[in-house]
Amino acid sequence: MQTKTTPGAMLKAMREKPPLVQCITNYVAMNIAANVLLAAGASPAMVHAAEEAGEFAGIASALTINIGTLSTQWIDGMQAAAKAATSAGKPWVLDPVAHYATAFRRNAVADLLALRPTVIRGNASEIIALAGGESRGQGVDSRDPVKQAEGSARWLAERQRAVVAVTGAVDFVTDGERAVRIEGGSALMPQVTALGCSLTCLVGAFAATAPEDIFGATVAALSTFAIAGEEAALGAAGPGSFSWRFLDALAALDAETLDARARISAA
Amino acid sequence: MQTKTTPGAMLKAMREKPPLVQCITNYVAMNIAANVLLAAGASPAMVHAAEEAGEFAGIASALTINIGTLSTQWIDGMQAAAKAATSAGKPWVLDPVAHYATAFRRNAVADLLALRPTVIRGNASEIIALAGGESRGQGVDSRDPVKQAEGSARWLAERQRAVVAVTGAVDFVTDGERAVRIEGGSALMPQVTALGCSLTCLVGAFAATAPEDIFGATVAALSTFAIAGEEAALGAAGPGSFSWRFLDALAALDAETLDARARISAA
Amino acid sequence: MQTKTTPGAMLKAMREKPPLVQCITNYVAMNIAANVLLAAGASPAMVHAAEEAGEFAGIASALTINIGTLSTQWIDGMQAAAKAATSAGKPWVLDPVAHYATAFRRNAVADLLALRPTVIRGNASEIIALAGGESRGQGVDSRDPVKQAEGSARWLAERQRAVVAVTGAVDFVTDGERAVRIEGGSALMPQVTALGCSLTCLVGAFAATAPEDIFGATVAALSTFAIAGEEAALGAAGPGSFSWRFLDALAALDAETLDARARISAA
């Protein structure tokens, strides 16, 4: 297997062999998440029904699960897919959207954590609450800075033996031992709905490309998002014009630019 | 409580303390409605499942219910949320999309009306049919002018003790006693799907901000939409370019501009 | 009934009397598909629930069914609607998204084929697999050129007594006897999610306008898409800017331009 040592090398490898990524995501995110994967060069498949989610996980190269708009039936599909991915040795990513908000979500996430996600991506409030801390999240919005979630993320990564990514103004990624911060993005990004959910799907795409280096793949996905976000913000006059410019920027981003501009530092 | 006497003052108050708005809306509208709330400055949460919709209504500051893509399970979630909102004294908004089209919708809306929505927003055909009149609606489209629905709106407002908003080329809002017309918007707006559904969610955001003045909050939401629509239409070459310009215009609209440009007249 | 002999004449007729098109489509496609129909001049209604889909099919002028995000309950709605459309003599279009991927999809599509769709639209991999051939489709993406699917399409059209449309870089349409190829579009189109699904809905709109000439209606829908796609690509810098330009181009396309630019050749 070719060594893919930088975000740019991983992006290039992804485009050379577009991975099929099964995304179980919420209704708000489905369209933009699929467009994000296509723009980045991956092949999205939104397959969630209990009747086929497990079977499909055997075909896909990675799986992502987001609990944004949950129901009992979808939980069945999520669990079937997570089990199938794990037993096939394929990476899967959990996005525990607003899991602290209701008992239904808390239970669903506890059950999914027991199925051992490869990566967990959330905002600071979500990661703090997952680690048992007191978060100030309101609805789906984080009200805590990423910095405050770093300890929680390290604890969670160790306990779950997973890579944990906390995204916000400055992102934080850890596998319990290593940890980095990633700068970039734009203040317009939280004004566009479901970009975080889309990033979860992109982490799945990079994890499919570099399953031997899940930490590096997660860092690569977040760096890609950060640089495309900076680029898109240049010409944007608001969240509407940012949104389509972001897709253009993702599609136009090449390996060299990504490696030259990514701002990743040890934490 | 600070008095919020103008649409601009309400918009400013909303941005200073972004209300969490629970939106139970249809699959077509979810993404654009969430983006509209974010651009305006509110915090959307698309939570509809029967398993959690009632619990979440206790957390949110307002609730909106739209029957665009209905199913038996969603009706359970809608009813649980409406009951919880009402018993917590929080405003909720009903959007009876194409309720005249099938028996399933007619029954669902009759049951929701019995739960006493705070605001009802619809197009002219929908409001006429709700008041028992003969509407010419086809599918989800109104085929009646707003003017023709004004009597129906007054009757419905009195009977339901609710604020009723009829939106179209010129909007009409009444609480059964007071009534105003609101001018603005653009002919491109009906060419973009789910903008009316998004407006319903925005009415919820303003109602959360000014629960002591639901009539004023409804007028403020409609005025905000109308002025942002006018602004967006200036540079638009069609429905595609209108759509993202509309989000930019909503985000850029400030209190002073809104108050200076809103065209609200007694009816 | 007026003869509508060209794509442009059909487009004009559609706009003069916008047909109500019932679209049962997937969650990813709903918003963009509705916007495509509105931009083209038709009236979309996303109605899929088993509780009302059959009743609604009696009101609509055409029906489209897409299995992109399937569940057992939705299959009930699809079947009820297909039966109601057929028994009311209204055209319906089947889009067998990635039907080869799971047993659940294969069974759903076999049952829908037995209900005799008026038109079947798919990518090359889907059509080849429907005809029993060996397709190389991965997830929802075609991996086969349209050319390779032409024989399968002819066979399927004869066997199903349906019009079959294979879309890709150059489209192919046949009713088993006649066959044409349609050039146009843009390489950016496969980078935008759900444009193929949206085209299925547009085929429904044209079929509603010219039920007496389903072959011609299908060709007209595909030509409209191809020319709008070419036009949109002119100013686009990537998939994000292509997407909204495509809606603008659809709305701006007139009958004369369509007829002058459509490149349709016998196959």
CA proximity to A217, closest of A159, A162, A168:
A162
Full residue range of the structural domain in which residue A208 is found:
7-266
Residue-level pLDDT at C1: 40
* Residue among A20, A35, A52 minimizing CB distance to C193: A35
User: Is residue A1 in a domain?
Assistant: no
Percent of chain B with pLDDT over 90: 94
Summarize pLDDT for A103-128 with one digit per residue, the tens: 999 999 999 999 999 999 999 999 99
Contact assignment for A27 to B46 by CB distance below 8 Å: yes
User: What mean pLDDT comes out for the span C126-149?
Assistant: 87
CA distance C171 to C127: 12
Summarize pLDDT for B112-170 with one digit per residue, the tens: 999 999 999 999 999 999 999 888 777 777 778 999 999 999 999 999 999 999 999 99
Contact assignment for B55 to A239 by CB distance below 8 Å: no
Residue-level pLDDT at B1: 40
**Residue C142 predicted with pLDDT over 90:** no
Q: Which helix (DSSP H) or strand (DSSP E) does residue B152 occupy? A: helix B146-160
Contact assignment for A51 to C104 by CB distance below 8 Å: yes
Number of domains observed in the structure of chain A = 1
User: Is residue B245 in a domain?
Assistant: yes
User: Is residue B100 in a domain?
Assistant: yes
Summarize pLDDT for A57-104 with one digit per residue, the tens: 999 999 999 999 999 999 999 999 999 999 999 999 999 999 999 999
User: Is residue B2 in a domain?
Assistant: no
Summarize pLDDT for B156-209 with one digit per residue, the tens: 999 999 999 999 999 999 999 999 999 999 999 999 999 999 999 999 999 999
Buried-state track A7-42, b at ≥16 Cβ within 10 A, e below 16: bbbbbbbbeeebbbbbbbbbbbbbbbbbbbbbbbbb
Residue-level pLDDT at B174: 98
C3 confidence band (pLDDT: 50, 70, 90)? low
User: What mean pLDDT comes out for the span A122-141?
Assistant: 88
**Residue B3 predicted with pLDDT over 60:** no
User: Is residue A193 in a domain?
Assistant: yes
CA distance A151 to A158: 11
* Residue among B105, B194, B240 minimizing CB distance to C245: B240
CA distance B118 to A76: 36
Average model confidence (pLDDT) for chain C? 96
ipTM confidence: 0.96
Residue-level pLDDT at A2: 46
CA distance A137 to A250: 29
Summarize pLDDT for A158-193 with one digit per residue, the tens: 999 999 999 999 999 999 999 999 999 999 999 999
Residue-level pLDDT at B136: 79
Summarize pLDDT for C157-200 with one digit per residue, the tens: 999 999 999 999 999 999 999 999 999 999 999 999 999 999 99
Token pair of B8, please? 């601009």
User: What mean pLDDT comes out for the span B71-89?
Assistant: 97
* Residue among A44, A46, A243 minimizing CB distance to C69: A46
Residue of chain A whose alpha carbon sits nearest to that of B24? A69
Residues whose CB falls within 8 Å of the CB of residue C159, separated by 6 or more in sequence, listed in order: none
CATH code of residue A13: 3.40.1190.20
- Ligand-binding annotation for B78, yes or no, is no
Among B118-122, C136-140, C145-149, the range scoring the smallest mean pLDDT is C136-140
Token pair of A124, please? 């600071």
Eight-state DSSP code of residue B190: G
User: Is residue A64 in a domain?
Assistant: yes
Chain B contact for C115 (CB, 8 A cutoff): no
Interstrand relation of C263-266 and C179-183 (parallel, antiparallel or unpaired): antiparallel
> What chains are in contact with A, requiring at least 3 Cβ pairs below 8 Å?
B, C
Residue-level pLDDT at C16: 97
* Closest CA of chain B from A71, distance in Å: 6
User: What mean pLDDT comes out for the span C49-60?
Assistant: 96
**Residue A1 predicted with pLDDT over 50:** no
Grouping H, G, I as helix, E, B as strand and the rest as coil, residue A165 is strand
- Ligand-binding annotation for B46, yes or no, is yes
Residue-level pLDDT at C249: 98
Chain B contact for C20 (CB, 8 A cutoff): yes
Are C229 and C36 contacting, i.e. CB atoms less than 8 angstroms apart?
no
Token pair of A88, please? 């096939």
**Residue A194 predicted with pLDDT over 50:** yes
CA distance B194 to B68: 9
User: Is residue A118 in a domain?
Assistant: yes
Residue of chain C whose alpha carbon sits nearest to that of A48? C69
**How close are the terminal C-alpha atoms of chain A, in Å?**
29
* Closest CA of chain C from B244, distance in Å: 8
Pick left, alpha or beta for residue B98 (phi over 0 → left; psi -120 to 50 → alpha; otherwise beta): left
Chain B contact for C84 (CB, 8 A cutoff): no
Find tokens 């479901």 and name the residue.
Answer: A194
> What chains are in contact with B, requiring at least 3 Cβ pairs below 8 Å?
A, C
Q: Which helix (DSSP H) or strand (DSSP E) does residue A23 occupy? A: strand A20-24
Summarize pLDDT for A38-48 with one digit per residue, the tens: 999 999 999 99
Q: Which residues of A touch B251 (CB under 8 A)?
A: 191, 238-240
Percent of chain A with pLDDT over 70: 99
Q: What beta strand segments (E) does B91-136 contain? A: 92-95, 119-122
User: Is residue C92 in a domain?
Assistant: yes
Q: What is the 3-state secondary structure (H, E, C) of chain C?
A: CCCCCCHHHHHHHHHHCCCEEEEECCCCCHHHHHHHHHHHCCEEECCCCCCCHHHHHCCCCEEEEECCCCCHHHHHHHHHHHHHHHHCCCCEEEECCCCCCCHHHHHHHHHHHHCCCCEEEECHHHHHHHCCCCCCCECCECCCCHHHHHHHHHHHHHHHCCEEEECCCCEEEECCCCEEEEECCCCCHHHCCCHHHHHHHHHHHHHHHCCCCHHHHHHHHHHHHHHHHHHHHHHCCCHHHHHHHHHHHHHHCCHHHHHHHCEEEEC
Sequence ranges of the binding site of C for ATP: 121, 167
The DSSP bridge partners found for residue A164 are A120, A174
Contact assignment for B102 to C55 by CB distance below 8 Å: yes
CA distance C114 to C127: 16
Are C26 and C194 contacting, i.e. CB atoms less than 8 angstroms apart?
yes
The DSSP bridge partners found for residue B66 are B95
Residue-level pLDDT at A3: 55
CA distance A98 to C71: 25
Percent of chain C with pLDDT over 70: 99
Are C163 and C172 contacting, i.e. CB atoms less than 8 angstroms apart?
no
Contact assignment for C49 to B241 by CB distance below 8 Å: no
Find tokens 């016998």 and name the residue.
Answer: C266
Summarize pLDDT for B4-31 with one digit per residue, the tens: 789 999 999 999 999 999 999 999 999 9
Summarize pLDDT for B36-77 with one digit per residue, the tens: 999 999 999 999 999 999 999 999 999 999 999 999 999 999
